[in-house]
């Protein structure tokens, strides 16, 4: 109960205050601002999905607001739609347009993605402007707010509707973000490669997230239309986009509270600009904050950094402007620019980012207790009767080649990994070992050759699809989800545990599933001896623990084939010994393992068969003792040493 109040207390108080305000304050202007707060809150929560969670610069949200507004406005004016059907339609239309834009745009990263969304925004506004038969173009579209269940909505009624929708969106987002979906969003930002390798389609998740965020923009647009009852295309141009970005960044990315704080800022902004006194107060407060931050920074390191000096200068300019400029409205863009600059440089984590940290220090909310670990047999099943054909071929490579331009990294490798075996892959540096397993696991497509797993051709060139076929791997250069806890790292891989369709996840029915996944993940952490570090962030763990965590995570896939690329690299002796023990345990559960390893003692201790590569070719194969004595192997290693 205490936990619940600590976490939810602020939400409940804020909600209660927002609900009762219309009874207390009857000032229509204030009510109008609150209505806008709810609408922009929904809009920014949607924008935060891409900007915050996916970490992409999305410049299309203003357009989705406009499309949603026009769609619901026109459906009401010409289609006779009621208010809720019109809002639902705006949501669905923007969901579809969002997917259509995301499908090509999210193949791109960084500036290309930003430009794609920017052009979409320009296109949308132009169409709204020029399609005069439908939208009445620049002249503007007037509409009237339809009734809700036969009741005409007065200002307070409409405000409550907006608030109710904001609460629904808030709760839905909260459920989504605390489910495997939210975890996948975090994971794909930390390591897209590992996310794909864990069978979570990065691209698919990004498209869905973007479409969902756009749909929220459409919903906000519908409310916007019914709020103003008059629409003009030029309300939805870049200027609004910049303000929206400012709102998300200022409020704090990856935070529902941040979105609402940002929305409050956006709502107050026009008043700020039209009221000189308010603007002066705001600028001076901003300058004082920037000075305080600079002073703090100076204490800490005795040297002023650009990050703290620049906001002081920018806010100083704003203060000078607020006392000298007569028509602040005309300087709007310059003012936004100064604020955006100060926020981006001086407050990269936004208001809620800082407040969150401070609050976390004040109230230490205890983590929810974990369930008892599952039985390992239920998580990684022992091979059953139908797997009795142990020692039959599981993985077969036939004449596999992979060239990089002129580099023949792998130049015709054939090998067979038997079911249940530990198969060593050794060879001097640069002999092609990592490339072989990168081709098997789908990171690279083979230049030529065939790969089959249990008789079926393995999907080529897709980590995601190879993972689906039963291949799991670790990486020579660790690819953990650094910001996630050890437990969450493993839970990302437990895709098979999650069966609930997303609408039910949004409604908050995923708790049971989550606990089951936690119990399963704990069992896997136990297997590698990390059960006591379940709540530790992956990037805060020791190097050895990180290596073991990658193995536990790969096992979460319940793989038929586990590939370990130099798991002992950089391990101190006790850790290396523990690694051997862990691999023995996994082997004991009947999972076939391909092990790339440099330490010959580890290879000898574990491997049934060893394949030796040199220059992208197989030069020897046999037991560890056999290959150690093989003349070509001795020659290759001696050559490498020389
Ligand atoms: P190993 O894992 O045995 O040390 P690798 O498979 O990493 O060897 O590399 C084999 C050869 O292929 C090396 O010469 C390496 O430089 C080259 N290589 C590997 N990956 C790439 C790549 N993505 N692009 C170009 N060359 C590569
Ligand atoms: Mg390698």
How many percent of the chain have pLDDT more than 70?
96
Q: What is the pLDDT of residues 292-312, one digit of tens each?
A: 878 877 777 767 777 778 888
Q: What is the per-residue DSSP string for 240-306?
A: HHHHHHHHHHHH-SS-HHHHHHHHHHHHHHHHHHH-HHHHHHHHHHHHHHHHHHHHHHHHHHSS--H
Cβ partners under 8 Å of residue 564, min gap 6: 473, 474, 551, 583, 593, 594, 595, 596, 597
Average pLDDT over residues 509-536: 92
β-pairing, 456-457 with 448-453? antiparallel
C-beta separation of 416 from 453 below 8 A: no
| CA nearest ligand 1 atom 27, residue | 404
Ligand 1 atom at shortest distance from the alpha carbon of 435: 6
Average pLDDT over residues 338-367: 77
**Strand partners for 426:** 612
pLDDT at site 2: 65
pLDDT at site 128: 87
Tokens 């009401």 sit at which residue? 76
Q: What is the dihedral of CA 444, 447, 452, 457, to 10 degrees?
A: 90
Q: Rounded to an integer, what distance in angstroms lies between the CA atom of residue 267 and that of residue 38?
A: 10
- How far does the centroid of ligand 2 lie from the alpha carbon of residue 433, in Å? 6
What does the mean pLDDT of the chain come to?
A: 88
Looking at the predicted structure, is the pLDDT value of residue 629 above 50?
yes
Q: What is the pLDDT of residues 224-252, one digit of tens each?
A: 999 998 888 888 988 899 889 989 988 88
Report which bound ligand comes closest to the CA of 410: 1
Looking at the predicted structure, is the pLDDT value of residue 114 above 50?
yes
What pTM value is reported for the model? 0.86
- How far does the centroid of ligand 2 lie from the alpha carbon of residue 429, in Å? 7
Average pLDDT over residues 566-574: 89
Cβ partners under 8 Å of residue 112, min gap 6: none
Dihedral sign for Cα 489, 490, 494, 498, please: negative
pLDDT at site 385: 43
| CA nearest ligand 1 atom 20, residue | 435
Ligand 1 atom at shortest distance from the alpha carbon of 433: 3
Identify the top-confidence range among 101-110, 123-132, 229-238, 446-455. 446-455
Looking at the predicted structure, is the pLDDT value of residue 76 above 50?
yes
| CA nearest ligand 1 atom 15, residue | 430
| Pocket lined around ligand 1, Cβ cut-off 6 Å | 404, 407, 409, 427, 429-435
Q: Rounded to an integer, what distance in angstroms lies between the CA atom of residue 412 and that of residue 396?
A: 13
pLDDT at site 383: 61
Looking at per-residue pLDDT, the higher value among 141 and 197 belongs to: 197
Report which bound ligand comes closest to the CA of 431: 1
pLDDT at site 388: 47
């Amino acid at each position: 109960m205490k936990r619940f109040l600590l976490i939810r207390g602020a939400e409940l108080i804020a909600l209660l205050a927002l609900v009762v305000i219309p009874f207390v304050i009857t000032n229509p202007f204030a009510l109008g601002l609150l209505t806008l707060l709810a609408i922009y809150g929904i809009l920014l929560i949607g924008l935060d999905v891409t900007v915050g969670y996916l970490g992409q610069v999305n410049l299309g949200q203003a357009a989705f607001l406009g499309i949603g507004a026009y769609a619901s406005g026109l459906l009401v004016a010409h289609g006779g739609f009621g208010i809720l059907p019109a809002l639902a339609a705006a949501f669905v239309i923007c969901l579809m347009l969002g997917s259509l834009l995301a499908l090509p745009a999210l193949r791109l990263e960084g500036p290309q993605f930003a430009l794609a969304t920017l052009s979409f925004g320009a296109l949308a506004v132009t169409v709204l402007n020029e399609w005069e038969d439908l939208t009445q173009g620049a002249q503007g579209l007037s509409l009237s707010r339809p009734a809700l269940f036969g009741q005409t909505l007065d200002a307070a009624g409409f405000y409550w509707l907006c608030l109710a929708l904001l609460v629904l969106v808030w709760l839905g987002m909260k459920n989504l973000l605390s489910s495997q979906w939210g975890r996948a969003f975090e994971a794909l930002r930390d390591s897209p490669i590992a996310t794909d390798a864990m069978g979570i389609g990065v691209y698919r998740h990004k498209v869905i997230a973007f479409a969902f965020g756009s749909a929220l923009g459409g919903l906000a647009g519908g409310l916007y239309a019914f709020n103003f009852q008059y629409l003009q295309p030029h309300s939805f141009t870049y200027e609004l986009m910049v303000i929206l970005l400012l709102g998300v960044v200022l409020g704090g990315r990856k935070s529902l509270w941040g979105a609402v704080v940002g929305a409050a800022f956006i709502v107050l902004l026009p008043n700020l600009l039209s009221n000189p006194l308010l603007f002066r107060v705001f600028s001076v407060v901003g300058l004082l904050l920037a000075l305080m931050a600079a002073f703090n920074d100076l204490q800490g390191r005795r040297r002023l950094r650009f990050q703290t000096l620049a906001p002081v200068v920018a806010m100083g300019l704003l203060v000078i402007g607020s006392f000298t400029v007569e028509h602040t409205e005309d300087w709007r863009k310059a003012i936004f620019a100064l604020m955006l600059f100060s926020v981006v440089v001086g407050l990269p984590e936004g208001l809620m980012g800082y407040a969150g940290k401070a609050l976390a220090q004040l109230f230490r909310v205890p983590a929810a207790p974990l369930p008892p670990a599952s039985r390992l047999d239920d998580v990684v099943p022992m091979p059953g009767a139908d797997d009795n054909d142990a020692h039959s071929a599981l993985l077969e490579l036939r004449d596999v080649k992979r060239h990089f331009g002129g580099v023949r990294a792998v130049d015709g490798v054939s090998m067979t990994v038997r079911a249940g075996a530990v198969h060593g892959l050794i060879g001097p540096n640069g002999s092609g070992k990592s490339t072989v397993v990168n081709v098997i696991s789908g990171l690279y497509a083979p230049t030529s050759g065939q790969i089959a797993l249990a008789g079926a051709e393995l999907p080529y060139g897709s980590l995601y699809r190879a993972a689906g076929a039963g291949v799991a791997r670790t990486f020579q250069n660790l690819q953990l989800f650094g910001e996630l806890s050890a437990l969450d790292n493993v839970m990302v891989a437990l895709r098979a545990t999650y069966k609930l369709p997303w609408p039910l996840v949004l409604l908050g029915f995923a708790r049971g599933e989550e606990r089951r996944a936690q119990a399963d993940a704990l069992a896997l952490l136990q297997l590698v001896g990390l059960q006591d570090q379940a709540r530790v962030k992956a990037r805060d763990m020791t190097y050895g623990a990180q290596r073991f965590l990658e193995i536990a995570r790969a096992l979460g896939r319940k793989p038929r084939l586990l590939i370990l690329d130099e798991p002992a690299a950089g391990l101190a002796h006790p850790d290396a010994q523990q690694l051997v023990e862990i691999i023995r345990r996994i082997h004991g559960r009947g999972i076939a393992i391909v092990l790339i390893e440099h330490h010959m003692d580890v290879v000898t201790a574990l491997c049934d068969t060893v394949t030796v590569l040199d220059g992208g070719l197989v030069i020897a194969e046999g037991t560890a003792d056999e290959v150690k004595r093989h003349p070509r192997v001795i020659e290759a290693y001696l050559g490498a040493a020389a």
